[in-house]
Amino acid sequence: MLKPISAKNLFWVCYGLMCLLQLIAATQFPLFGDEAFYWLESQYLAWSYTELPGWTQWTIALSQWLLPQSELTVRLPSLLAAFSIPWLGMLISKQLRTPDLDLPHSPWLIGLLLLALPLLSLAGVLAIPDIWLSFFALLTTYTLVKADQTQQARWFLLLGLVLALGVNVHVRFWMLVGLAGVIYLWQCRHRKSIIRGLLGISVPMMLLGFLPILWFNFQHDFPLLTFQFQERHPWTFQPSHAAFVLIQMLVTTPLLFLLCVQLSFKHLAGQSFSTFIARLAVAHWLLYAVLGFVTDELRFNSHWVLSSYVLILLLVTSTPNLNRRWLAACAGSGFLAAMAWLLTLLYWHHPSTAMTKLNAQFTENSRGWQALAAYTEEIKSAENLQPVTTDHFMNLAALEFYGDDDWQLKSLDHPMNSKHGRAKQLQLMQLMRNSNEESQLLVVEHSGMKLPQQIPFYQQACQSLNGLEWLDSLSLEQGLKVYYFFRSGTGQCQLPPIYYIEQQAGAVTGWLVHEKGSDTAVTLPSTNSIATLKTGALGNSELFRTVDPNSYQLSEFSISADSEVKVDQLQFQVNGVQVETLLWTD
């Protein structure tokens, strides 16, 4: 590795580049769906919230109170936390260095390695709890090591204060603190002064941090615990979680992952504070590696073990006999990967970038909000409709942020609200639209529902809003997102076009359910092809059991597709309203 002064200079260059790129990304990315909802919750300050404790929302509220509303100001508190993490890491590494060992690695190397964690760099751009989890994990570690070394009451008090704030970030911090408490108390079981300081000062102070969470949840039948520990998880065996290690190697980068494994083995034995950190990081990682077989698999496989890597990398400067070239390769490959991630996301969000499957998978929930808000205003003004109702929390929050203040927005009951633990929170904020006979505009993300959910949702919405008339359609991002617009309060239920598409080699087949007598066409613009529709009765499918066969019919179609085109659009036209949906023909 380079000399300490060179490591310092290298850190400043990498830190400046990363901060600049994160700052640009924070201004360029539209709000992610969860970010938008945290912003919405911040407008309704509470002691806690149904899916999360309140820290993230409180910090957004403070930023919005001090600064004008924008994507950057929503993300600014999280961004500042991200900027501070390398400095916290270096501060801790100085406390861990043992004077009697010849350790040539500079603390600046810790800062470089933390900058090299791609997940950490990405999380710092978004107003989500993950960056705060790593921030409080490091801040807790620093105050604990100072309490361990000095055994002064002020450090035990400060540790308790940090823990009291940290428990308000996420229940995942509770799990990390629980593991830390068990491991540290066992390791220090013979040090009575440490035990007295922790149990007499730090723990009581930490428990005060739970008061706003307990107060809120006691009032509302404990929705936070119900969602986080029960509703969000399948609690059935998922063999696909066997790919956990491979996924972690990819998102951490292989060299950094192997470095973390190496550091773990070097420090698991002993009684030092470094041993405690290694045991905590490994236990935290193994907890999610095991639980992922029965829990919320996607989240366990991606970023929930980030704190494990942040903690274990602190041990580099207190570990002898680490090859300098090996450390340089780990830091270099990770940093380049982190920069590449952010640059790729910036490229994907650029308006001129062609849509790909990978692009859509990572950016779908942060696309099209401004266009949706603008088109909603057009429809609302043209049809003279007020107020506006959305289908689920994500569209509600995005339209609140990007739309006008006078829309009187509320949401319907939707499977997405319950799936993400937001249904109860919408009710508490009085943003759920119940039965209402007045005429209003309804905005529905049709493409956001699975086929079996669509007809039941529209029928339930029709009953709740005293009738629906389909007005228009909006296809965004080449048809990746399809929105339907309705007038409510009509007294009659009009079902919008319901379609199914199946792609085969050189052809696209499917069916379309529409009103009898409607002017209907199916086209594929890339080949200038118009499908021949085979129209008939709805049949006996369970999907159409509740659809009136006297009013609706089924049209089957088959149309040739150009196998050379990777991304295409299929267009439906029903009574002059055009619907475009995205095709992947590669």
Query: Amino acid identity, residue 161?
Result: L
Q: pLDDT tens track of the chain, all 586 residues?
A: 445 557 888 999 999 999 999 999 999 989 999 999 999 999 999 999 999 999 999 999 999 999 999 999 999 999 999 999 999 999 999 888 765 544 456 788 999 999 999 999 999 999 999 999 999 999 999 999 999 999 999 999 999 999 999 999 999 999 999 999 999 999 999 999 999 999 999 999 999 999 999 999 999 999 999 998 888 888 888 888 888 999 999 999 999 999 999 999 999 988 899 999 999 999 999 999 998 888 876 555 678 899 999 999 999 988 888 888 899 999 999 999 999 999 999 999 888 787 788 888 888 888 889 999 999 999 999 999 889 999 999 999 999 999 988 888 999 988 889 888 899 999 999 999 877 768 899 999 999 899 999 999 999 999 989 999 999 999 988 888 999 999 999 989 999 999 999 887 778 889 999 999 889 999 988 788 888 889 989 888 889 999 999 999 999 998 887 666 567 788 999 988 889 888 876 5
Residue 507, beta-bridge partner list: 504, 560
* SS3 at position 171: helix
Pairing of strands 520-524, 468-476: unpaired
Question: How many Å apart are CA 332 and CA 165, to the nearest integer?
Answer: 34
Q: Can you give the pLDDT at residue 234?
A: 83
CA angle 476, 482, 486 (to 5 degrees): 120
Work out the number of other CB atoms within 10 angstroms of the CB of residue 265.
10
CB 365, CB 349: distance < 8 Å: no
Containing 513, the helix (H) or strand (E) segment is strand 507-515
pTM of the model as a whole: 0.93
3-state secondary structure 321-343: CCCHHHHHHHHHHHHHHHHHHHH
Model pLDDT, residue 353: 81
Q: How far apart are CA 109 and CA 175, in angstroms?
A: 29
**Tokens 């400067």 sit at which residue?**
317
pLDDT at site 1: 46
Tokens 């440490």 correspond to 194
Predicted local confidence at residue 539, as pLDDT: 84
Q: Which two tokens stand for residue 377?
A: 């205003």
